[in-house]
Structure 1
Amino acid sequence: MNTILVTGATGNVGRHVVSQLAAAGLEVRALVRSPERANLPERVDVVRGDLSAPETLEPALKDVESVFLLWPHVTADGAAEVVTTVAGHARRIVYLSANVADEPVTHYHEIERLIRHSGLGWTFLRPGGFAANTLGWAEEIRRGVVRWPYGQASRSLIHERDIAAVATHVLTSAGHSGATYVLTGPERLTQAEQVRVIGEVAGHDVRWEEQPLEEARERLTAAWGNPAFVESALSAWAGFVAAPEQVTPTVERLLGRPALTFRRWAQDHVADFS
């Protein structure tokens, strides 16, 4: 009973977690919706499953000791059944939460609460902003103008490879039970500066255009479908203008190397913006 189950295994973070665990020679099982399209390392046990249908999770948990949980929705609907199912088979869970998890309005808060009361050993990873979220600007960057609110919001965005490396470390070493790790990149950049860096790396001349708040609210609500989550995000960005996002040393402390810079992230993703 030493298999590690990775959910969200084909996503930005999950794919790296699977690859890093497999490279370390560990028994890895990847839960995916479409195994035929997963394109994961050969030695990985790829199984079909969907967290929206918890009954598909039960077979995937056979002989599993630890679970890496990436919840794919912006509400906690259905999470209680998933956590209960995991608790019936595994011993511990590493949950990819967020640094806003202390806010009761977020689904991260509710899922952490469910896990704390599940009887599982747990570790919460609370990254701040994902550098990968800026992929949403790709089309606008290619056009030369990014229209978004709060250009002066200062963020410490983290590379998904660093999140995965921390998850891998936690899943394969002792001393992390009951720990909550706040993860960030090594530097702060405003959103307008992020656009400039991506443009420089991709070879595009890109300018920032401040988007009116109400227009941004409508756009994000249409995309995310959760007005409360949209308000939480907008409020956070507004706050980062006056009080820049924190930079934590957690990645370097756990991994023994500095966190990867945003420019390094942009270089790793240059094809997405070209």
Structure 2
Amino acid sequence: MSGILITGATGNVGKHLVTTLADGGVPVRALVRDPGRAALPQGVEVVQGDLTLPETLAPALADVETVFLLWPGFEARAAQPVIDLIAERARRIVYLSAHVPDGTFHSEIERSIQRSGLTWTFLRPGGFATNTLGWAEQIRQGVVRWPYGRASRALIHEKDIADVAVHVLTSAGHGGAAYSLSGPERLTQAEQVAVIGEAAGRAVRWEDQSPEEAREQLLAAWGDASFVDAALAAWGAFVDAPEEVTDTVEKLLGRPARTFRAWARDHAADFR
């Protein structure tokens, strides 16, 4: 067997994961829907395929030992054929799950993986700092309207998720582990907006939006009512029970996790 297959290879986490592996000389194969638009580093084997179409995956899974799985949707049952294919052809899987998977599609996928016979590792990040890119247009206009400004979160930089994934994929001793990942500090959503404004050189204020109004907008964008309701409930809960800060990134990598301020500086151009 010859290497590692990365799904979600052109996404926020995947592109950093693929680049870091390739720079380290690790044989890596990237699953993409459109190879012509992938723009991945030289030395990366790019294979066309679609996780939602299991019949397209055989070339990507040939001679692969380990698969990094990022599931592209909310439907857990659709993942079962893919997990079965991976179990037939590979030995190990690293799944990008969620910090609290219970009650979400992540928990069902985790259970399917545990039953598969594969050696597994679950990465369970909390809030992604990249999700705040959804405020970009509002930040350019100077006002962010969103629910639960006092919700306090420990958002994680996508590069830290990728670096943890590299470590897990290239070292031993992670079989059966579920790693909870977070940034090193909590900030309320209103504070996050202020940090982004500072990095982008803009004066930005926060304005609380009603959950009811936000629900209508999110339903139009996401289309899945149960996922929207779960997201709003989670954000509301973070007002009185802030998101957990873990030291897992530092324990695994030997250095602190990147701060949200560092993330905002890295992405300042996205908000200008």
Q: What TM-score comes out, normalization by structure 2 length?
A: 0.99
> Residue deviations 1:20-41, cap 9 Å, x none?
1111101000000111111111
CA shift at 1:2, angstroms? 3.0
**Quick one: percent identity of the two aligned structures?**
69
Q: Supply the distance in 2 between the matched residues of 1:222 and 1:109 (Cα, whole angstroms).
A: 25
* Structure 1 equivalent of residue 88 of structure 2: 88
Which of 187, 193, 204 is matched with 2:191 structurally?
193
Q: Supply the distance in 1 between the matched residues of 2:122 and 2:200 (Cα, whole angstroms).
A: 34
Stretch moving more, 197-206 or 220-229: 220-229
* Structure 1 equivalent of residue 57 of structure 2: 57
Q: Secondary structure at the match of 2:246?
A: coil
CA shift at 1:229, angstroms? 1.0
CA shift at 1:75, angstroms? 2.1
Q: Which runs of 4+ in 1 moved over 6 A?
A: none
CA shift at 1:77, angstroms? 3.8
> Residue deviations 1:62-96, cap 9 Å, x none?
11000000011022141000100111100000000
> Residue deviations 1:139-195, cap 9 Å, x none?
000000111000000000000000000000000000000000000000000000000
CA shift at 1:231, angstroms? 1.2
* Structure 2 equivalent of residue 114 of structure 1: 112
CA contact (8 A) 1:30 1:45 kept: yes
Q: CA RMSD in A?
A: 0.7
Which letter maps to 2:253? L
* Structure 1 equivalent of residue 170 of structure 2: 172
Gaps of 5+ in 2: none
* Structure 1 equivalent of residue 98 of structure 2: 98
Which of 215, 223, 231 is matched with 1:225 structurally?
223
Q: How many residues align?
A: 272
Q: Supply the distance in 2 between the matched residues of 1:131 and 1:197 (Cα, whole angstroms).
A: 12
> Residue deviations 1:69-127, cap 9 Å, x none?
00110221410001001111000000000012122xx1101110110101100000000
CA shift at 1:233, angstroms? 0.9
Q: Secondary structure at the match of 2:148?
A: coil
CA shift at 1:262, angstroms? 0.3
Gaps of 5+ in 1: none
* Structure 2 equivalent of residue 3 of structure 1: 3
Which letter maps to 1:97? S
Q: Supply the distance in 2 between the matched residues of 1:116 and 1:219 (Cα, whole angstroms).
A: 36
Equivalent residue runs for 1:134-213 within 5 Å: 134-213=132-211
Q: Supply the distance in 1 between the matched residues of 2:246 and 2:2 (Cα, whole angstroms).
A: 32
Which letter maps to 2:176? G
Q: Secondary structure at the match of 1:88?
A: helix
Q: Supply the distance in 2 between the matched residues of 1:3 and 1:150 (Cα, whole angstroms).
A: 44
Q: Supply the distance in 2 between the matched residues of 1:16 and 1:56 (Cα, whole angstroms).
A: 24
Q: Supply the distance in 1 between the matched residues of 2:129 and 2:190 (Cα, whole angstroms).
A: 14
Q: Secondary structure at the match of 1:64?
A: coil
